[in-house]
Amino acid sequence: MAAPNYVNPVTKGDSLKVVSAVFGGIALLSVSARVWARIVIIHKPGWDDYIILAALAFAVAFTAMTNVGMYSNLGDCYQRS
């Protein structure tokens, strides 16, 4: 078994950026299309539209905090010397 590399460890940060960007974009497009259809076309937004917008805001905030944490080495599980 190889010794762990504490100096320059392998990370998955680039994968996290790509996955969060792709799924965040899909969520933003789908919620925008739904809210646009309900407000502009039907002229009758419901309570569920407001809950979806709140959930999208929380998802965007979580994604932003995850990316900030990744850049500040929040997920490092190794000892630094």
Q: Is residue 53 part of a domain?
A: yes
Burial 10-38 (b: 16+ CB within 10 A, else e): eeeeeebeeebeeebeebeeebeeebeeb
49 in a domain, yes or no? Answer: yes
pLDDT in tens, 6-39: 777 777 778 888 899 999 999 999 999 999 999 9
Domain of residue 36: give its range: 15-71
Count of structural domains within the chain: 1
26 domain-assigned: yes
In a domain, 2, yes or no: no
CA angle 47, 54, 30 (to 5 degrees): 85
User: CA-to-CA distance for 18 and 10, rounded, in angstroms?
Assistant: 17
Would you place residue 44 in the very low, low, confident or very high pLDDT band (cuts 50, 70, 90)?
Answer: very high
Whether residue 35 lies inside any domain: the answer is yes
